[in-house]
């Protein structure tokens, strides 16, 4: 039986509110959800953006797909059910961090729209910004930073997104990036949106 069905597990409200934490940080808490194919550049852009935000005094945390699977999700494989659970756990952790007033950056392939919408619903209105790094498969495969496309093409890696597993592109992403542009240009586009929405100071 899960905790949500256990009458002995009760949600506790805290005396310090999210608004008070945000006031201390000097900016809003929000989840920036980077999605795209392997090799699209989402982790690179997320990492560079976090560095820029940190230098600007923004309190951040970066959740990276590989790193999460070393700890929080190390018991999960890559079946559809395990992928969904991986995203659910990341969403719950991100929600706590956003409540702490942080700008959270997450870089996950997250190939299914339903899973990304699940996290959107979990975070609530205005707290989830979907960022689609739209890079053509041919470019991603040419980059192949981890050699995964080569393994997938050779039949050594099954259920690889873009090759023998589907990627469902976002239909209503708040930000769509051309993954062939420079990292600096892409980071500035995102920062401009954050400033225009008054999430971070202008």
56 strand-pairing partners: none
| Interatomic CA distance for residues 136 and 80, integer angstroms | 23
Token representation of residue 81: 């059910």
| Interatomic CA distance for residues 68 and 26, integer angstroms | 28
Q: Which residue has the tokens 């992928």?
A: 83
Query: Which one-letter DSSP state was computed for residue 56?
Result: T
- The question of whether 110 is a catalytic residue gets the answer yes
CB-CB contact of 76 with 82 (8 Å): yes
Which of 40, 59, 110, 196 is flagged as catalytic? Answer: 110
CB-CB contact of 124 with 18 (8 Å): no
Catalytic residue annotation? 110
């Amino acid at each position: 039986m899960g905790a949500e069905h256990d009458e002995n597990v009760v949600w506790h409200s805290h005396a310090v509110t999210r608004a008070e934490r945000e006031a201390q940080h000097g900016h809003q808490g929000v989840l920036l959800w980077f999605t795209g194919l392997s090799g699209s550049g989402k982790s690179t852009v997320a990492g560079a953006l976090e560095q820029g935000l940190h230098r600007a005094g923004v309190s951040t945390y970066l959740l990276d797909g590989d790193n999460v699977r070393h700890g929080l999700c190390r018991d999960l494989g890559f079946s559809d059910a395990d992928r969904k659970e991986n995203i659910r756990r990341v969403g719950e952790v991100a929600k706590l961090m956003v409540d702490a007033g942080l700008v959270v950056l997450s870089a996950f392939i997250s190939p299914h729209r339903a899973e990304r919408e699940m996290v959107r619903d979990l975070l609530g209105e205005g707290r989830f910004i979907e960022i689609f790094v739209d890079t053509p498969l041919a470019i991603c495969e040419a980059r192949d930073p981890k050699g995964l496309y080569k393994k997938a093409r050779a039949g050594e890696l099954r259920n690889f997104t873009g090759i023998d597993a589907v990627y469902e592109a976002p239909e209503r992403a708040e930000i769509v990036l051309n993954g062939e542009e420079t990292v600096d240009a892409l980071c500035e586009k995102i920062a401009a949106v954050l400033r225009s929405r008054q999430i971070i100071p202008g």
